[in-house]
Amino acid sequence: MILYENNRISVCREIAAKPSAVWDILTDTQLWPVWGPSVLNVDCNDRYITTGSSGRVKTLLSFWLPFTVTAFRRLEYWSWNIGPVAATGHRLIRKSETSCILCFDMAWWAAFYIPICWLALHKIDQIARSAEPPA
């Protein structure tokens, strides 16, 4: 689902997995290259990010860019800057003990990034569901 509000675009996907499992995938810097199509590598002292976490990401174009986590509320949202530019926000909306909606938020001018976000959400969904124990 794609939402547009207050000059922001949100790309969202419902995921049938524990919200805490999805959150762990989303904040684990070692997994960013697994689910993030535009991230080849991450250099960060924090495996799981929090407010103020910083480091650098290697992009598809094979160069490194610095990042800083600028906002963080556990199991709810986090956002970051890539260099001086505000990049995507990440929101988790808990629906139940076993389901949530994950959204990537961006400025309207970053609409070209929508397909990358769709793919990332799909990959996170696959990782989260594969980690869930069978019912």
> What is the pTM assigned to this prediction?
0.91
List the strands of the sheet with 2-5, edge to edge. Answer: 2-5, 8-15, 99-107, 85-96, 77-82, 64-73, 54-59, 39-44
- Domains detected in the chain: 2-131 (3.30.530.20)
Task: Give 94-124 pLDDT, tens digit per residue.
Answer: 999 999 999 999 998 889 999 999 999 999 9
Task: Give 40-91 pLDDT, tens digit per residue.
Answer: 999 999 999 999 999 999 998 899 999 999 999 999 999 999 999 999 999 9
